[in-house]
Structure 1
Amino acid sequence: MPVIAVVLLAFTWGRGLPGGIVALVTVVLAGSVLAAVHHAEVVAHRVGEPFGSLVLAVAVTVIEVALIVTLMADGGAKGATLARDTVFAAVMITCNGVVGLSLLVASLRHGIAVFNAEGTGAALATVATLATLSLVLPTFTTSRPGPEFSPTQLTFAALSSLVMYLLFVATQTVRHRDYFLPITRQGEVITADDHATPPSVRATAFSLALLGLALVGVVGLAKGVSPTVESGVAAAGMPQDVVGVVIALLVLLPETIAALRSARRDRVQTSLNLALGSAMASIGLTIPAVALASMWLSGPLVLGLGSVHMVLLALTVVLGSLTVVPGRATPLQGGVHLVVFAAYLELAITP
């Protein structure tokens, strides 16, 4: 399926697609999502947590960043806010949608969702800091008219985002790795998955290669169906921003399915690693990339959020903090996160 997706992408990239081809692309896109989840779980089983969730989050984000920069190169008014809209959509989808679904599924299936508050709290704090520095501050700076950074401010935001992300990765994988491992209901760290024998090095390398192909297919085919989505959104009279939300939902499907599978197995920490790690990678890698791209791309780079989105971001941070502190959650917490996510979608459709 990943090979079919990449071949189909090669034949459809940059072309107008008739209805029949759009249907075929959609089917292959769905298959690529499932293939990406499968191969990501194979790699994760071999390397263990938290490396497994890190591989999927970074892989998706790197390809997503490449897509953003490519679309920005096309120019136009939509390119100015593309990075901001995509990053904020990723934050809301992961921190409310994926987190809410994971907590709800785990707590309904196992009675209560348990996770490590130290690691999850550190991840949430990093996401909140990155989002504030990159998406909130541009609205209030005065060096440039409008919600834009000056070149000096953009450079600082890019460097600080990259440094914070690398510092978190070092904390997650080296110094305090046990903070990000799944735990039992007695608080004991689960260091290995005893359900199956880990795959061989050869099988892991094969799955890693196919994971890369599958993710290229997912992001590229999602871009291919975007004109159809855009036409449907325009026909329904909805704002243009809805297109970005739909594309972000498609791109983040592999991580969402992987997180839900982990939640069903009572590995809630792995689900939260995927969700918050994806939000963190989306900001920490996208902002430096678009800062570099803005050096040779014409047009403004608008990063500052509007007032409604800033309220939703603040509510997400406060709610996430209250969810993380106890280290356990009931269906109520999952439901509250999902309500905030539904509010984001509703306001995107009817601002």
Structure 2
Amino acid sequence: MGGVPPALRPHLTRWTSLAPPVALVVLALTWGRYPGGVVVALVAVVLAAAVLAAVHHAEVVAHRVGEPYGSLVLAVAVTVIEVALIVTLMTAGGPQASSLARDTVFAAVMITCNGILGLSLLLGARRYGTTVFNAEGTGAALATVATLAALSLVLPTFTTARPGPEFSPAQLAFAAVASLALYAMFVVTQTVRHRDFFLPVAPGGGPLAEEEHAAPPSTRAAVASLALLLVSLVAVVGLAKVESPAIEAGVAALGLPQSFVGVVIALLVLLPETIAAANAARRGRTQISLNLALGSAMASIGLTIPVIAVASIWLEGPLLLGLGSTQLVLLALTVVVGVLTVVPGRATRLQGGVHLVLLAAFLFLAASP
């Protein structure tokens, strides 16, 4: 999100300022109802406008505060609202939603670590031949994501305190505390101790110069964009929930498993980050794209598991967090391929294509397990 993208032009600023409050009004009018086909289509249009507005305002904030803070703002904001959506759906769904947190978080990890990362590498390499990034910062982020995924999604499959892929209360509490600690340590590393590890790099390996034509927005404009970003994200997640009955009906009509609902929710919620990462990659700032991808994966686990652990006190039914055998294979393959991609500090279109194929395999197997 470095630099000022075309989305900052004045004629676009007007509608990006109007879209979030309009989306919030539509959300208020449709919340708790079961709209018909025409209204569902209208909500989908407003949802798309809110997503594009969120990307615009995230880029304004990021340009004001600089990297890696800009990537962190969008990743945390999206994840906080994603967690709220998961808890809301689990509360409303009862025991049938016992695996929704696992399905959504795992989908978010696969979409970010394969989809956003692969798309960013492909776009960056397609334009520049070979795209470069900081292996130290990206490697630290990938290691944290892998550890969080193992503690929260892999271990429940193999523990014996409870039948099935779930933690005992003590194990869940440990996973929650460990997740928060890991995420906090990474944020300190990214923003304080080793901030230079997460800044864009030039082809020669040095820091990438800021774009001279990109004057940072004023503090007032940045604060306004931050507020509109939060409104946009609330609207995106809320409208996604409004659309969820139509999504569930569509999933059932297509004969897909119920767990695929979590995949669709993750795809919708992560759409702003995907567009922002793609925009950064096109401008040769692959490091920012990787910050977004891995930061979002990390926040999805590191913030969701602690909240779910607290929410499990009043949620009905078991909390199934452990992955199945197919998901474990996909996660292991994603981590191994991710390590091989990150270590050199540079990538070609091949690496991007490999990650996108892994995403395609996940989506196919989620639809046809």
TM-score bracket, shorter-length normalisation = over 0.9
Contact 1:45/1:193, CA 8 A, preserved across alignment: no
Deviations 1:12-50 (CA, angstroms, capped at 9, x unpaired): 111101011111101111101100000000000000000
Contact 1:181/1:191, CA 8 A, preserved across alignment: no
Tell me, in whole angstroms, the C-alpha distance in 2 between the residues paired with 1:195 and 1:325: 33
Tell me, in whole angstroms, the C-alpha distance in 1 between the residues paired with 2:87 and 2:153: 18
**Residue matched to 2:317:** 299
**1:93 and 2:73 are equivalent in the alignment:** no
- Map residues 109-148 of structure 1 onto 2, 5 A cutoff: 109-148=127-166
Equivalent position SS for 1:186? coil
- Aligned residue among 222, 237, 243 for 2:261: 243
- Map residues 70-219 of structure 1 onto 2, 5 A cutoff: 70-190=88-208, 192-219=210-237
**Residue matched to 2:23:** 5
**Residue matched to 1:281:** 299
Tell me, in whole angstroms, the C-alpha distance in 1 between the residues paired with 2:271 and 2:158: 34
TM-score by length of structure 2 reads 0.94
Deviations 1:49-107 (CA, angstroms, capped at 9, x unpaired): 00000000000000010111111212423321111111000000000000000000100
Tell me, in whole angstroms, the C-alpha distance in 1 between the residues paired with 2:96 and 2:144: 28
**Residue matched to 2:276:** 258
Tell me, in whole angstroms, the C-alpha distance in 1 between the residues paired with 2:323 and 2:200: 34
Q: May I ask how many residue pairs the two structures share in their alignment?
A: 351
Unaligned runs of 5+ in 2: 1-18
Tell me, in whole angstroms, the C-alpha distance in 2 between the residues paired with 1:7 and 1:345: 33
Contact 1:148/1:303, CA 8 A, preserved across alignment: yes
Q: What CA RMSD, in Å, does the superposition of the two structures yield over aligned residues?
A: 0.9
Deviations 1:124-170 (CA, angstroms, capped at 9, x unpaired): 00000000000000000001111110111000000000000000000
**Residue matched to 1:314:** 332
Contact 1:48/1:192, CA 8 A, preserved across alignment: no
Contact 2:94/2:315, CA 8 A, preserved across alignment: no
TM-score by length of structure 1 reads 0.99
Contact 1:50/1:173, CA 8 A, preserved across alignment: yes
**Residue matched to 2:13:** none
Contact 1:75/1:299, CA 8 A, preserved across alignment: no
Unaligned runs of 5+ in 1: none
**1:43 and 2:65 are equivalent in the alignment:** no
**Residue matched to 1:233:** 251
Per-residue deviation, 1:223 = 1.2
User: Structure 1: which 4+ aligned runs deviate by more than 4 Å?
Assistant: none
Per-residue deviation, 1:315 = 0.2
Deviations 1:172-215 (CA, angstroms, capped at 9, x unpaired): 00000000000000111136443311000000000000000000
Equivalent position SS for 2:299? helix
Aligned-pair identity in percent equals 73
